[in-house]
Chain A
Amino acid sequence: MTDEAALEQTRKAIQKWKKKRGSLIMALHEIQGIYGYVPWDHAKVVAEEMGVALARIYEVLTFYNFFKLESPGKYIISVCDGTACHIKGGASVIDAFAKHLNINPGETTPDRLFHMQIVRCLGCCGLAPVVVVNGKTYGKVSPADVPSIIDEWKKKEAL
């Protein structure tokens, strides 16, 4: 999709929120839903369409952890560090991913392939520690399992 077409897509997607006061966050959700983050040029479209200053939009975007300002990468690795996972060694799994991908939690690899984030409880504590990659759940993960999980998705990418 060209940049212009993408901006047009955003413009269309937020039409339904335009007239409603207090729906800036919903419009931003809409954009993040499409692109996985809120790109600068698209935030500008929101500013224009909704008549909200870009400064205010960025205040909202940076206030809520949920919103991302950079492309989060193709494969999103969510490592749980909720209570149960933490007790079962979630932190060491996070460290292992950080070491193997050479990124900190919340960061994306330079090739934009992997993004790692820490989440609090995925609702399947019996499987602790839990890792989810693009919807696929891995249970009882140990640091030793980490390279194979990464390889699995790298192989998928190579196909």
Chain B
Amino acid sequence: MTKMIKLKIDNLDVEVPEGTSILDAAKKVQVEIPTLCYHPDLEPTAACGLCIVKANGRMLRSCCTPVMEGMEVITRDPEIVNERKTVLKLILSRHPNECLTCLKNETCELRQKAAEFGFRQDNFKKISLSHEDAPLDCSTRSIVLDPRKCILCGRCVQVCQNVQNVWALSFLNRGLKTRIAVAGNLTLDESPCIKCGQCVAHCPTGALTEYDDTGIVWRSLMNKEKYCVAQIAPAVRVAIGEAFGKDPGEISTKKLYSALRRLGFDAVFDTNFGADVTIMEEGSEFVERFAHGKGSLPLITSCCPAWVDYMQKYYPDMIEHFSTCKSPHEIVGALTKTYYAEKKGLDPKDIMMVSIMPCTAKKYEIRRNESMYASGCQDVDVSLTTRELARMLKQAGIVFDELKDEEADSPLGEYSGAGTIFGFSGGVMEAALRTAYRLVEGKELDDVDITPLRGVDEGIKTMEMPLGGKTLKVAVAQGTGNVGKLLDEVRDALNRGEESPYQFIEVMACPGGCIGGGGQPTGVTNKVRKERTKGLIMDDKKSSIRKSHLNPDVQKLYEEYLDKPLSEKAHHLLHTTYNAVPVYKK
């Protein structure tokens, strides 16, 4: 049993388990000690010094000081406040005053702290630094690094190196010259960066942001010649409300449809429909390999473009195990510019396809290789993050939470519960198993809730189930930092000539899956991830159809257009290829 420690914080009695930090203990008595470098996802590093408190007569950083029996902590007195102000002034002395034009201005934690501490003028002369004129790194067209706005909190480095195991960002140089950069002064595009955007999600300032694509979308919406089509990803619907003051997990699907029409989109589709199609293709691909011995096992999901980039860089020898099926939004893009365009008599060149994604890597995916141009032109023209859409709605003066519910357009808008759970870790596998069961067993799976694969706490989740007279073993990994262990296990078994320990593997690059994606509203913690996951589970539960193969519009698509899963036409439009990519381009 964990030992409990008794202490006093601001004269209030607190009892917490041994090992708890003063910072966390204070929360028990409703005391929020100010922090900047601290993030609950990460190990505290005591980099900034803002969380300073007095304990037993000493000044200590509360984020990394564990409580001790009988400790008497003071979290606020004139001396402490003065120290904190000095810390902030020093940070501000090397931070540009560009809040007005900064993409993070609404959510910047540094700006919030400066406001809370009541700064009304610059107290220290701005220090000019050697990298002050460092240019923006927009090379990935997904993520933008502005080194001038970096406060060296180290969150991005920790998340990139330790959580995601990507190692694109690092602390280079020392002292005043310290900066966040790629080894060898390369650009992010030349680096191991997989565009997952977890650095963006964790950056407290505007040093790391999404690449803003709203300009071209605005111009297209104003252009009468363009037929603008939008689609929304599963995870967007349970997070965008946060930008309008709603709780995480609240489902805003129908308000989103309505909002997108108000913005001027001519048609509004749902990526969840694409997810259902993905299941038809990927599920069939799996069944071909598992039940009919056509192709190698395990089959690994490939909906996540950051994971695709990671795999191409670190596991190119596993390419044959990768599902060739495209991600859901690429499928909707390709079908919009072919199937839908033909139905409507539209020239695909006149269609502006905009995906609203929880993701920064989708911006890279839309131009990843020639298969993203299956319709004859770029299938998805622009991929916006949830945050970018929220900004557009605010600019347009759309009162989001008062909008009337509307429905998506036909025929790429109807979705099953299986499509919507694509947004959380384990959901793609769950959706695939619901359909694979039907394909292999010839009957419907009764209990569709495959709960062992859900949840954000475990990095790797595994499960066994009987299928087609065999035992199917599946594994789900969330966060690329957890992938290595799993794939090394598979690779070792295959190298020894043995069967893979798992036949089907799902990987999502971001912790929690897409609901915790790098393009989602900021401030994500495990608590938020859980709420958003719950929202999607609810969306699935209340769906009358919860299996992709029972989506009537999906059935119609195959009847009218694609013939059957894995048909030649399906292959041309809905499948892709992969190739090895060097970890460093130089």
- Select one of B170, B174, B192, B583 contacting A58, CB under 8 A: B170
Residue B431 at the chain A interface, CB threshold 8 Å: no
Cβ-defined contact, A62 with B584, below 8 A:
no
Assembly CA distance A59 to B583 (angstroms) = 18
Give the CA-CA distance A85 to B122 in the complex, in Å.
41
Q: Measured between C-beta atoms, what is the minimum distance from A109 to chain B in Å? A: 21
Tell whether, in the assembled complex, residue A58 and residue B184 are in contact, meaning their CB atoms are under 8 Å apart: yes
Task: Given A40-B184, A54-B183, A58-B184, verify A63-B167 contact (CB < 8 Å).
Answer: no
- A-facing mask of B171-203, CB < 8 A → 1, else 0? 111100000001110000000100000000000
A99 at the interface (CB under 8 A from B): no
Which residues 1-57 in A have Cβ within 8 Å of B in the complex?
40, 43-44, 53-57
Alpha-carbon distance A69/B171, docked complex (angstroms)? 16
Q: Which residues of B contact A69 (CB under 8 A)?
A: 184
- Least distance between B197 CB and chain A CB atoms (Å): 18
Please indicate which of the listed interface residues B161, B183, B586 has the most CB atoms of chain A within 10 Å of its own CB. Answer: B183
Q: How far is the CB of A69 from chain B (nearest CB, A)?
A: 8
Does B151 interact with chain A (Cβ within 8 Å)? no
In the complex, whether B256 has a CB less than 8 A from a CB of chain A is: no
Distance of A53 Cα from B314 Cα, bound (Å): 12
Interface: B168 (CB within 8 A):
yes
Q: How far is the CA of A54 from the CA of B169 in the complex (A)?
A: 10
For B171, the closest partner residue in chain A by CB is: A59
Q: B192 to nearest A CB, angstroms?
A: 8
Which residues from B are CB-within-8-Å of A56?
161, 167, 170
CA distance A154 to B161 in the complex (A): 47
Task: Give every chain B residue within 8 A of A40 (Cβ-Cβ).
Answer: 184, 586
Query: How close is B79's CB to chain A, nearest CB, in angstroms?
Result: 34
Residues on B with beta carbons closer than 8 Å to the beta carbon of A57: 183
User: B165: nearest residue on chain A (CB-CB)?
Assistant: A53
Chain B contact residues: over half helix, strand or loop, or mixed?
loop
Is B173 in contact with A62, judged by CB distance below 8 angstroms? yes
Instruction: Count A interface residues, CB 8 Å.
Output: 13
Q: How far apart are B517's CB and chain A's nearest CB, in angstroms?
A: 23
Q: In the bound complex, do residue B169 and residue A55 qualify as a contact, i.e. CB atoms below 8 Å apart?
A: yes
A54–B173 touching, CB < 8 Å: no
CB-nearest residue of chain B to A65: B174
Contact B161 A55 (CB under 8 A): yes
Shortest CB-to-CB span from A106 to chain B, Å, is 12
Q: How distant is the Cα of A77 from the Cα of B382 in the complex, in angstroms?
A: 55
Q: With the chains together, A56 CA to B182 CA distance in Å?
A: 10
B225-261, CB < 8 A from A: none
Which B residues lie within 8 Å of A58 (CB)? 170, 172, 183-184
Q: In the complex the two chains form, what is the Cα distance from A53 to B168 in whole Å? A: 9
Near A by CB (< 8 A), chain B positions 146-173 give: 161, 167-173
Determine whether the beta carbon of A63 is less than 8 Å from that of B183.
no
Out of A43, A44, A54, A63, which one reaches B174, CB within 8 Å? A63
> B167–A55 contact, CB under 8 A?
yes
A residues 88-105 with Cβ under 8 Å of B? none
Shortest CB distance B494–A (Å):
21
Judge whether B586 and A59 touch: CB under 8 Å. Answer: no
B167 and A59 contact, CB distance less than 8 A: no
Give the contacting residue for A53; candidates B161, B171, B172; CB below 8 A.
B161
How close is A4's CB to chain B, nearest CB, in angstroms? 17
Interface string of B485-510 (1 = CB under 8 A from A): 00000000000000000000000000
What's the minimum C-beta distance from B582 to chain A, rounded to whole angstroms? Answer: 10
A38 to B167, alpha carbons, bound, how many Å?
20
With both beta carbons as reference points, the residue of chain A lying nearest to B170 in the complex is identified as A55
Residues of A within 8 A of B586 (CB): 40
Contact with B along A121-138 (1 / 0, CB 8 A): 000000000000000000
Establish whether residues B172 and A54, one from each chain, have CB atoms under 8 Å apart when the complex forms: no
Contact of B167 among A44, A53, A62 (CB under 8 A): A53
B410 to chain A, nearest CB (A): 49
- With A53-B167, A55-B169 known as contacts, the answer to whether A62 contacts B174 (CB < 8 A) is yes
Distance A63 CA – B175 CA, assembled complex (angstroms): 9
Known: A54-B183, A55-B167, A57-B183. A62 touches B172 (CB 8 A): yes
Report the minimum CB–CB distance from B464 to chain A (whole Å).
33
B170 touches A63 (CB 8 A): no
CA distance A55 to B182 in the complex (A): 7
How many angstroms from the CA of A40 to the CA of B172 in the assembled complex? Answer: 15
* Contacting residues, chain A, for B183 (C-beta < 8 A): 43, 54-55, 57-58
Q: Is the Cβ of B170 less than 8 Å from the Cβ of A59?
A: yes
Give Cα A148–Cα B183 distance, bound, in whole angstroms: 40
* Complex interface: chain A residues within 8 A of B173 (CB): 62-63
Q: Which residues of A contact B583 (CB under 8 A)?
A: 54
Q: Whole-angstrom distance from the CB of A51 to the nearest CB of chain B?
A: 12
Contact A54-B584, Cβ < 8 Å, known A40-B184, A59-B171, A62-B174: yes
C-alpha gap A63/B171 in the complex (Å): 9
Q: Give the CA-CA distance A55 to B160 in the complex, in Å.
A: 11
Q: In this complex, what residue of B is CB-closest to A64? A: B174
Distance in Å from the Cβ of A46 to the closest Cβ of chain B? 12
Roughly how many angstroms separate A59 CA and B174 CA in the complex, as a whole number?
9
- Tell me if A54 and B171 are in contact (CB < 8 A): no
Report B451-493 residues with CB < 8 Å from chain A CB. Answer: none
* A-B pairs with beta carbons under 8 Å apart, 6 shown: A55-B161, A55-B167, A55-B192, A56-B170, A58-B184, A59-B171
| Contacts beyond the supplied A54-B583, A54-B584, A63-B174: 16 A-B pairs with Cβ under 8 Å | A40-B586, A43-B183, A53-B161, A54-B167, A55-B161, A55-B167, A55-B168, A55-B170, A55-B182, A56-B161, A57-B183, A58-B172, A59-B170, A59-B172, A62-B174, A63-B173
Task: Name B's A-contacting residues (CB within 8 A).
Answer: 161, 167-174, 182-184, 192, 583-584, 586
Which residues of A are in contact with B by a Cβ distance under 8 Å? 40, 43-44, 53-59, 62-63, 69
